[in-house]
Amino acid sequence: MGRNASDILVDTMLSWGIDTVFGIPGDGINGVMEALRKRQDRIRFIQVRHEESGAFMACAYAKYTGRLGCCLATSGPGAIHLLNGLYDAKTDQAPVLAITGQTYSDLQGSMFQQDVDTVSLFKDVAVYDQELLNPAQMDMLANEACRHALNKRGVAHLSLPVDYQEKEPEGHSMHSRPEGPSNAWTPQRIVPGEAELTRAAEILNSAKRPAMLIGAGALGAREEVLQVAEMLGSPVVKALLGKASIPDDHPLSMGGLGLLGTYPSELAMDHCDALLMVGTSFPYMEFLPKKARGVQIDDRADRIGLRYPVEVGLVGDSKLTLQALLPHLRRNEDREFLTGLQEVATKWWELMEERARHEKPIRPQQAAWDLNDLLRDDAIISADSGTNTIWAARQIKMRGEMMFSCSGTLATMACGLPYAIAAQIAFPERQCVAFVGDGGFTMLMGEFATAVKYNLPITVVIVKNNSLGQIKWEQIVFLGNPEYGVDLHPIDFAKFAEACGGLGFSVEDPEEVKPALRKALESGRPSIVEIAVNPNEPPMPARINLDQATHFAEALAKGEPNGGQIALTIFRDKMAELL
Ligand SMILES: Cc1cc2nc3c(=O)[nH]c(=O)nc-3n(C[C@H](O)[C@H](O)[C@H](O)COP(=O)(O)OP(=O)(O)OC[C@H]3O[C@@H](n4cnc5c(N)ncnc54)[C@H](O)[C@@H]3O)c2cc1C
Ligand SMILES: Cc1ncc(C[n+]2csc(CCOP(=O)(O)OP(=O)(O)O)c2C)c(N)n1
Ligand SMILES: [Mg+2]
C-alpha cells in the first residue's frame, strides 16, 4: 500500500522538524491520528484536555525552541476551541501549524454534523489557510503551510476533509511534478544597507544620553545588545517579551517599562536624547520619550515607526544589524546618564525586595521574589495575564540562560499552565514554572492532569487572591469605580493537585512560602503551590499619576467595599519604604 494523504502530511511535518503535536483526537481527524500512531517513534502526540491549551502549547513550543509548533483538532468544535491559542501565536509572531479535521467532502454545505467553514473562521488568524480539495494536493499544501508559518512567523491552517485523510493521491494535473515540492528553507537574515547604518550611527554618536529599548526580537542578540550599549553608555530597558534578552542583574539593565515597569526605566525614557529600539513593538506609547531622536531595528519593515516617530529605520535581523552597526559607533565617554540610572536601579531592586517583605496575609510580591533563590540559571518561567504578570515581571530576576514568556500582545488569561507544559516537554531537564493567578489557572486547570499523565515535573505557583485582581484594580484606579463582578469562589488547589495525581502545597504563612516552593521544585513531580495572598495589595505603577490617585479616591467615595483594607495596605507600604 502506498502513502495516503495523512501519511504524506506527517512525513512532511517530520521533514520540517516537527517532533511534537498537541491536540485532541476526534472522528473528524482520526485519519491523521493513524498516521501519527504509525510514526510515534519519531513524533510525539501530546493529548490535552482542551484544544485551546493545545494551541497555547504549540505557540509556547515555538517561542521557547525557535522551531515550528504544531497543534491538531477535530472538525467543528475542536477547531473552534483552538482559536484563542492561535491568536496568541499570531499576535506574538510564533510560527504554528494548525491541523483541523473537516466533515466529509460530499457533505460540506449540507448542515451536516460539525460542518463549520473553518477556512473562513481561521481567515483572520492565519497567514496561510487552505482546505485540502484533493489528496494529490497534500504534499504541496503541507510544505507550503510549514514554509509560510516559519517565514511569516504566524499560523498556517490546514483543513482536512475526513474522507480525504485516508485516500492515496492519484491523478496529478499535467502541470505538477511527481516528486512534489521542496522543503528547502533557510530563515531570513536581513541586514540593512551601509547608508542607513551610517545615518543611524550619526544619530547615536551625537547623543549625550542614549537609551535602548529592546524586546522579543532581541532575544537572540544578547551579546550584540550589550556591546552596543557598552559602546554608547546606554541604559537598556526591556519590553516584557524581551525580559530574558539580557539578565536583570546586568549593570546595563534597567528592567521593564510600562505599568509593570521600573522607575529607572521611566527615567531613562524621560531623559534620553536618543532612543535605539531593537526588536520591540512595545505598545504603551505614553511611556516612550517625548522628544528623543529615534532609531529602530526590526526585521519587519511594517513595524518601523509604528510606535515611535523614528528618524531612521534599520530593517534587519537584530543580531546581524547590531553587528553591522557596531563598527560605525564611537565610544561615548560621558557615562553620567548611565551611572546615575544605575544608582536608581540599585535602589529599585532594594524597593522590590522591600515590597516582598514577609507579612500576613502574604504579599503577592513575596511569592515571586522567593523563587529567585530557588531557580536555576536556565529555568523557564511562564506567566499568565493579571496582577500575577506584574509580580512575575518585577520580582523574578532573569539570570543566565533563563527564558520568560506569556501571552504578550493578546494578553489572554490561561496561557501560563499550557506554556509551562510545552516548555517542560521541549526541555525535560530544565525547571519549568508557571506563575499564574487563580482566575487564569481555573480556565484551563484540566491541563494539570496532562502534566501528571506525561510525568512533567512542572511547578505551578498560584497567586491566590480569590479575585480577578487585575480587573478589580482597573475598575478602581482607571475608572474610579468600586469593584464589581471580580470575586472568585475559592478552590482548594492543593487538593485539586492531589486529586490529579500530583503534589499540592497550600501556603498561608509567609515563612512557609520558600520551603513549599523548594519542595515543589525539588520533588521531580508536577506540583501546585497555592499561595494565599493579600487581595488588597495594589499593583502600584513605578510612578503614580494624579488621575490614578483621584480615581482611587472616587472609588472609595462610591463605596468600594475593601476601601479601608486597601488604604491600610498602601499606608503600610509607604511606612515600610520610608523607614
Ligand atoms: C497583564 C499584562 C500586562 C502587561 N503590561 C506590560 C507592560 O507594562 N510593559 C510591557 O512591556 N509589556 C506589557 N505587557 C505585554 C505587552 O502587551 C506586549 O506584548 C509587550 O510589551 C511586547 O513585547 P516585545 O516588544 O518584546 O514583543 P513584540 O510585540 O512581539 O515585538 C517584537 C518585535 O521584534 C520583531 N522581531 C522579531 N524577531 C526579530 C529579529 N530576529 N530581528 C529584528 N526584529 C525582530 C518583531 O517584528 C516585533 O516587531 C503586558 C501583558 C500582560 C498580559
Ligand atoms: C481570556 C481572558 N478573559 C478576560 C480577560 C480580562 N482579564 C485580564 S486580567 C483578568 C483577571 C485575572 O485574574 P487572575 O488570573 O486571578 O489574576 P490576578 O489578576 O488576580 O493576579 C481578567 C479577567 C483576559 N485578559 N483574558
Ligand atoms: Mg486572582
**3-class SS string, 295-364:** EEEECCHHHCCCCCCCCEEEECCHHHHHHHHHHHCCCCCCCHHHHHHHHHHHHHHHHHHHHCCCCCCECH
Task: Give the CATH number of domain 356-578.
Answer: 3.40.50.970
CA distance 402 to 396: 11
Q: Which residues surround ligand 3, an ion (CB under 5 A)?
A: 437-439, 465, 467, 469
pLDDT tens across 391-435, in order? Answer: 999 999 999 999 999 999 999 999 999 999 999 999 999 999 999
Work out which ligand 1 atom sits closest to the CA atom of 387.
1
How many A from CA of 472 to the centre of ligand 3? 10
* Residue 559 amino acid letter: G
Top CATH class of 5-165 equals: alpha beta
pLDDT in the model for residue 566: 83
Separation of 572 CA from ligand 1 center, angstroms?
34
For atom 7 of ligand 1, the residue with the nearest CA is: 258
Q: Give just the sign of the alpha carbon dihedral 544, 263, 474, 562.
A: negative
Task: Find out whether the beta carbon of 437 lies less than 6 Å from any atom of ligand 2.
Answer: yes
Give me ligand 1 centre to Cα 335, in Å: 28
Q: How far apart are the C-alpha atoms of 331 and 329, rounded to whole Å?
A: 7
Cα–Cα dist 186/133, whole Å: 29
User: For residue 542, what pLDDT is reported?
Assistant: 85
**What CATH architecture does domain 194-343 belong to?**
3-Layer(aba) Sandwich (3.40)
| Residue that is written with C-alpha cell 493537585 in the block | 497
**Ligand lying nearest the CA atom of residue 471:** 2
Question: Of all atoms in ligand 1, which is nearest to the CA of residue 383?
Answer: 53
CA dist list (Å): 448 to 63, 278, 406, 507, 520: 21, 36, 18, 19, 14
What pLDDT shows up at residue 578? 57
Q: What is the pLDDT of residue 352?
A: 95
CB atoms under 10 Å from CB of 209, counted, come to 21
Going by CA atoms, what residue is nearest to atom 10 of ligand 1?
240
Residue 385 CB less than 6 A away from ligand 1: yes
**Neighbour count for residue 327 (Cβ, 10 Å):** 8
What pLDDT is recorded for position 264?
Answer: 97
Ligand having the closest approach to the CA of 441:
2
**Which residue's CA is minimally distant from atom 20 of ligand 2?**
469
Confirm or reject: Cβ of 389 under 6 Å from ligand 1. yes
Provide the residue ranges of all domains of the chain, joining segments of one domain with +: 5-165, 194-343, 356-578
Buried residues in 78-116 as b, exposed as e (16+ CB within 10 A): bbbbbbbbbbbbbbbbbbbbbbbbbbebeeeeeeeebbb
Low-confidence ranges of the chain (pLDDT < 50): none
CA 458 to chain centre: 17
Domain 194-343 matches domain 356-578 at the CATH topology level: yes
Q: Which atom of ligand 1 is nearest to the CA of 215?
A: 26
Ligand 2 binding pocket includes 370 (Cβ within 6 Å): no
Ligand 3 center–CA 535 separation, angstroms: 8
216 CA to centre of ligand 1 in angstroms: 6
Query: Could you identify the atom of ligand 1 that is nearest to the CA of residue 92?
Result: 30
Which is nearest to 560 in space by CA: 536, 532, 533? 536
User: How many CB atoms lie under 10 A from the CB of residue 550?
Assistant: 12
